[in-house]
Structure 1
Amino acid sequence: MRTFFIVIVLFGIGAFPSGAQAQSLGWQAFAQVKSETKFFKNEGVYVLTPKFDEKIKSLEGMYFSLRGYYIPTEVHSDKWIVMSKVPMSQCFFCGGAGPESIAMINFKGKAPKFKTDQIITVRGKLRLNDSNLDELNFILDDSELVTAPSK
């Protein structure tokens, strides 16, 4: 079954930080990515996808920390979750935020259980995605939970 992760547009302009600075900025770094229209032959559709420039590509593989809200999905996994910069009512899927405000979090082991809109902080290795429609544009692999308030 195809997952629902088709990320359409990324917004953002401005100077882009580098190295350790970027790792601490998380969501702000994602917001600076622009987009382009790309044809996906296997799907037979044109989709606006992120256009990763050399500045953000240079950050791929670095560890980022993100603090945000847990967003439940219809596709259940014991290895990954979706988190958002904003609560569910305002997120990319349910509200007016852009796709730069969501990230796929792939845990090293089994994903912890969270409640909708529970605020969490995770740390993982950045992977960028502009071609797999089954994943989000921004992915943290080998992630670990840093903090989560008690339920």
Structure 2
Amino acid sequence: MWRFRSQEVFFVVLLIIITLLTTSDLISDYLEGTEAWHLSIEALVVLMSVGGIAYLLQAFIKRQRELDAIKAQLAQTKDDLSEARQQISAAGQAYSQVIQKQFETWQLTPSEKEVASLLLKGLSFDEIANVRNTKEKTVRQQATAIYRKSGLSSRHEFAAWFFEDFL
């Protein structure tokens, strides 16, 4: 549905009124036998008013078509983004399964798996301890066990082991 702006409506109505009044005056003057130059000026005003109306309507139609095209493009972009999010989510879930499988291969305990996941998310030992309601020392000991079982020597090497193939 087309929506006119109030300014557009105002100017179109104004030009229509000018056109009608000038046309009425032109007919009246013609019937009274007014001079040709006066009739020519009034005819020119009528033509200019009609031209102004046509111009405003054409500009409105053009803007409306552009707006419709932008709306269609926005809808397509939203669809594309939704699809990309679904693909990223699926890839994330698949990669999470790969990570959990590797944890199984390293024979990590359930607590170590949880700590390892939080380490991969970038949490500090203190943050992990708060999340798990344990002491930081316990988290450090579990991290040491994770590094030993994985054959890696540090948090950075541990994270790099999982993310190296992405780079």
TM-score (norm 2): 0.15
Give the structure with the larger strand fraction: 1
More helix by share: 2
Between structure 1 and structure 2, the one with the greater Rg is: 2
User: TM-score by structure 1 length?
Assistant: 0.16
